[in-house]
Structure formats: structure tokens, C-alpha cells
Amino acid sequence: MTFSEKYQQWLSFADEDTKTELLSIADDEKEIEDRFYKDLAFGTGGLRGIMGAGSNRMNKYTVGKATLGLANYLKKKYSGEIKVALAYDSRNNSSFFAKTAAGIFAASGFKVFLYKTLVPVPVLSFTTAYLGCNAGVMITASHNPKEYNGYKVYDNRGCQFCTEDAKAAIEEINKITDFTSIPFGSENSDNIKMLGEETLSAFIAEVETQSLYEEKSDLKIVYTPLHGTGNIPVRRVLQGLDVTVVKEQELPDGNFSTVRSPNPEEKDALTIAIERAKEIGADLVLGTDPDCDRVGIAVKDENGEFVLFTGNQTGALLVKFVLEQKKATLNPKSTLVKTIVTSELGANIGRKYGLQVEETLTGFKYIGDKINKYEDSGEQEFVIGYEESYGYLVGTHARDKDAVVSSMLICQMAAWYKNHGKTLIDGLNEIYAEYGYYLDSLDAFVLKGKDGAEKIQSLMTQFRNKGTALFEDLKEIIDFSEGIKDLPKENVLKYIWNDGSWMAVRPSGTEPKIKVYYSIQDEFKENAEKRLADIKAVMHSIING
């Protein structure tokens, strides 16, 4: 079916609001093509896209199709009563999409547990297992711009669907071609039970069992939830510390009106929090993204300026802190898990403490899947997992990255260093002195629409074909699309130099981007910076050329 035929099909069944939106673009063929040239697909973060009418958009029909397909898959997988947990973040339409999904599950005969107010991703992950559900759904687009929303699916242990589950669910979803067959039930169904304080408190209690340092400290913290779900749970786990919340960003706001993008990976997301920290003389700035699974930090240096940490730097510090505090309980089964685009610095710290180190593909669902497998085999024990994109997990209460437990441990870590007369900057420099200097960076090139998707695929082909001709002194190029070790096949290339430095290239699974990750190792910072600039110049000339 062509995109024009799909457009006409939607006009035939859509409700009045959707039809009005579609008719408003009747003369814009390019816009119609972008909305209908494909269906939204599951990536590293599940279903995710721009909100609006169309098969390539997030709306009641694409959410309905995904939900009915998922329901049909769960009926095939499980017998007897099927239970599903549902939650949502602060984005525009998140509550509506969650209630839409709840109504469809309820109409399909499922018992549905729906949060009555917004909660973080890790809370939904925890709740799914805590209530013995067969699956969970979180309505969120994580740190994406305000135009986006998404639909994350979790298994019965609170891990995002991985390869086999996702493949089987997608097969069922793709069978749904008649949108009028979707049973849009009522959110007031007797099959729906509302969740609130009781399950949230159970989650908080589990997070607090991971506490590692509770000595009193005069550490001053400024925290911003960036208009998202972190405000209540993060402040609860930080009780007893001196925390100032950024008032302008405290309450939910789906338009994220005070920031360009609600992504703590980006410098300007923490601008207001840093200004407030300077005003009150704070030591640490903490910011969580809208669904509170990622956390970014900034630390005051000796000149009173705030230095933003990368996800790799925070991850390495957390590994050192957690392992030092837990060293009496570590054993040969203890394991650290990281992704293939995450720096080796934290992994090398883990190895020095005797930990096993395992790598996964990009996407925290693969780390959660490792935890499931460790539980099943008993051969390894999960201690810490993290990825360069500001996602960390300590404990197994959740099977997804958790900015609630991470915020608690980051603040305890900063308090430990302050009580020893140091900052987190000092702690990072100590790590560099022991393990060598690591310079990590990320470029994300936005290529929108059908043309952009085609260019991304063309670029990946170009990088494969040019291979070792691109750079000198390469040790090897790993093509993960060929299947490496026990990892699923994925469209990722990793260039590794003889000194251990590396670069990875991959299309984003959730956004119209091609991402390039760099990790440079050198004894001297200046050398690393020059080398990074030279490598980036080559990549920019190819991608922007």
C-alpha cells in the first residue's frame, strides 16, 4: 500500500479530531509521505515517535494497534488470568495513551493495574514484578523533545522486551490491519485497578536498601526533575540531605517550557539549576529526565564554576564508589555489565576489584536481560550496570535504568568525598591517575524523514565499505550486524585502535539520528583532545558532505 493509499484509508475510519488533522495536510504531499511512508517500529526503546495523526506517528490508533497486538501475544504465551501494569510520565498525551491502552487490555479480559498519577520508568519496572504481572507498559519518550511520545513494553520480571519477545509481539502487532477491530474500552472498567502510594512506597523501600553511605555531611545539592516524574521519588530518597529544588522545573509540564530539550546529556538542560547552585553556594547539581531513568550532574570546581560530567565519568565514579563500599561482599560471581558504546574505564575499575565484566548491545533492556539470566543460572551476581547515556542501575529491584537509586548513590558518593575533603572532580582525577586518561564524546546527526532514513542506511554502507582506509593504526573493525559472540545482530560498527581507543557508529533505534561515539585513551589530556578533533573532522566531512 502506498503512503497516499494509507492516507485515504485513515480518512475512512478515523474519528472526527483525527480526520480534521489529516484534512489539514491534504495539499502537503511531503507531510503525508512522512506520516504514512512506514509504520512505527520497535527500537532500543520500544515504540517511539512524533505525536499526531498517521501510521508513522504516536496516536490513539497506533497505540491501540500495539496494545491489541501485545494482548494477542500475551494470550498465546500465558494461560489463565493475565495481568498488566501500566504507567505514564509527564509528557503531553501520556495519561491519555495509558488510559487508552488500559481500556483495550481490560476489554481483552486482562486485569489491569494503572497508576493514577505519573511515575518514573523504574517504578513501572518494579511494579510489574512486584504485583506478579505478565507484562508492563510505560508511556514515555524518555528524554526526547516535547513532540515525541512512546510505548515501552516490559516482561514479567520488569525487563524491557528483548529480541525473542519483541519479535513475537511485533508479529502479532503487524497482523492488526483493521483499526475498527480495536476494542477501545473504558478506563472505568471493573478490570482496572488504580495504583498509588502503596506500590510507590514499596519501590522507595527497595531503593533505600541499596544505600551505602549515610554519614552526616554539609553537602549542598540543587536538584531539577526537568518537569518530569522524578520530583517526588528522588526527593524522598534524598531526605536528610540539603536539597534545593529548582522551582521553575519542579512541576510536570509536557511542553518542557524552560528548556530546549529535557535531556540531561545536553549542556543547556541544567543551565537554570547551575545558576541556582551558584546563587546558594551548592556543591552538586543533579538533573533527571522526564521519565526519571537518566541522571546528569554538574560539580563545583575550585574556582566556583560548575563542570558537567559525562555519563562515562559519572559511571566510572559510581563503579569505584559502589565497589569500594561493597568490597567485603564481592565474590567471584560479582558482575558489572556495560554496553558496547560505553567507555572501558569503569570496566577496568571493576576488573581491578575482581568483577566479571560483560558487554551488551546498546539499550538498557539488554542489561536487564542479563540480570534475568543471572537469576536463572545462579552463575553470576549483578552488582552494577550502566551505559554512557546517563543510565545506571545498582540493585535488582528494577530491570531498567533507575535515576532514583542513581541519584541517591551519587549524592552519597559526593557526601563521602566532601567528608574526606574532596570533590567528585578530585575523585575523577584520582581515577585518571590510576587508570589513565579517557576522553569520551558523542556526535548525533539528525536526518529526518524518509530521505534522512535512506541517507543513514547509505552512510552505514559507506562506513562498512571504506573500513580500515578511513583511519591509520586500526587494530580491528567489529561489525555487530554479523552477530558477535552471543549478542543479537545489530547495525553497529566499532573501530578499535591498537592503543585501546575506539569509535562506534550506529543509527538510533528511537530517533532520526546517526550516532558516533568516541573513546580516546592517552597519557596526556592534550594529546587525547587533538586526536579526538582529528577523528571528528573525518567523520563530520563524510556525514555532512
Q: Sort strands 284-288 and 306-308 into parallel, antiparallel or unpaired.
A: unpaired
Instruction: Find out whether 246 and 224 touch, Cβ atoms under 8 Å.
Output: yes
Catalytic residue chosen out of the listed positions 142, 334, 407, 519: 142
Map grid coordinates 540539603 to a residue.
242
Query: What residues contact residue 466 under an 8 Å CB cut-off, 6+ apart?
Result: none
CB 386 within 8 A of CB 315: yes
Longest dimension (CA), the chain: 69
Residue entry with cell 510505548? 151
Cell representation of residue 253: 509540564
DSSP 245-302: E-GGGTS--TT-TT-S---TTSGGGGHHHHHHHHHHT-SEEEEE-TTSS-EEEEEE-T
Active site residue 343: no
Contact 286, 295 (CB under 8 A): yes
Residue 477's H or E segment, with its range, is strand 474-479
C-alpha cell at 285: 547539581
Q: CA dihedral defined by 34, 40, 45, 48, rounded to 10 degrees?
A: 60
5 grid coordinates: 493509499
Q: Are 444 and 508 in contact (CB under 8 A)?
A: yes
For residues 404 and 234, the answer to whether their CB atoms sit within 8 Å is yes
Instruction: Report the C-alpha gap between 378 and 221 in whole angstroms.
Output: 39
DSSP character at residue 46 = E
Name residue 352's beta-bridge partners. none
Please say whether the beta carbons of 130 and 119 come within 8 A: no
Question: Which residues are tagged catalytic?
Answer: 142
